Amino acid sequence: VQLAESGGDSVQAGGSLRLSCTASNTEHYDRFAMGWFRPPPGKERETVSCISASGKAISYADSVKGRFTVSRDNAKMTQYLVMNTLEPEDTAMYYCARSARSSCTITTAEVFRWWGQGTQVTVSS
């Protein structure tokens, strides 16, 4: 599985961005949950969002609820993260990852085994 993130940029506080994560070299993309994380495992990682395989179950970190919206297009093997009302505290490298499961009940590194290279989001005050 290969995951490629895009959409990171430098913006002013209060601005918006849309991140994309497209999968390749994989089958059955629609069978697995997808997540957005900041930063990668081994460091103080935060699960920004998780969307189940069907897209019907979604969870967010408390710090982004009401500001970020995650979605997925299984036909395009892509998930999106719309980030509104960005704050300097949102500055981070954002990583897309694929779960080995269809649900978001577990978001540990043991379950989210496939990671992209990340896309940098920088929010200035």
Residue 15 scores a pLDDT above 60:
yes
* Radius of gyration from C-alpha coordinates of the chain: 13
Residue 41 scores a pLDDT above 80:
no
Q: What's the confidence (pLDDT) of residue 44?
A: 78
Query: Which residue type occupies 46?
Result: E
Strands of the chain, DSSP E = 2-6, 10-12, 17-24, 34-38, 46-51, 58-60, 68-73, 78-83, 92-99, 112-115, 119-124
Average pLDDT for residues 29-36, to the nearest whole number?
97
CA distance linking residue 19 with residue 93, whole number of Å: 11
User: Which H/E stretch holds residue 16?
Assistant: none
- Model pLDDT for residues 52-110, shown as the tens digit of each residue: 999 999 999 999 999 999 999 999 999 999 999 999 999 999 999 999 999 999 999 88
CA distance linking residue 23 with residue 97, whole number of Å: 10
Average pLDDT, the chain: 94
Q: What's the confidence (pLDDT) of residue 43?
A: 66
Q: What's the confidence (pLDDT) of residue 42?
A: 62
> 6-15, 38-47, 88-97 — which is least confidently predicted?
38-47
Sign of the alpha-carbon torsion through 50, 95, 20, 2: negative
% of the chain exceeding 70 in pLDDT: 97
Listing from the earlier edge strand, what are the strands of the sheet with 2-6? Answer: 2-6, 17-24, 78-83, 68-73
Confidence class of residue 39 from pLDDT cuts 50, 70 and 90? confident
Confidence class of residue 40 from pLDDT cuts 50, 70 and 90? low
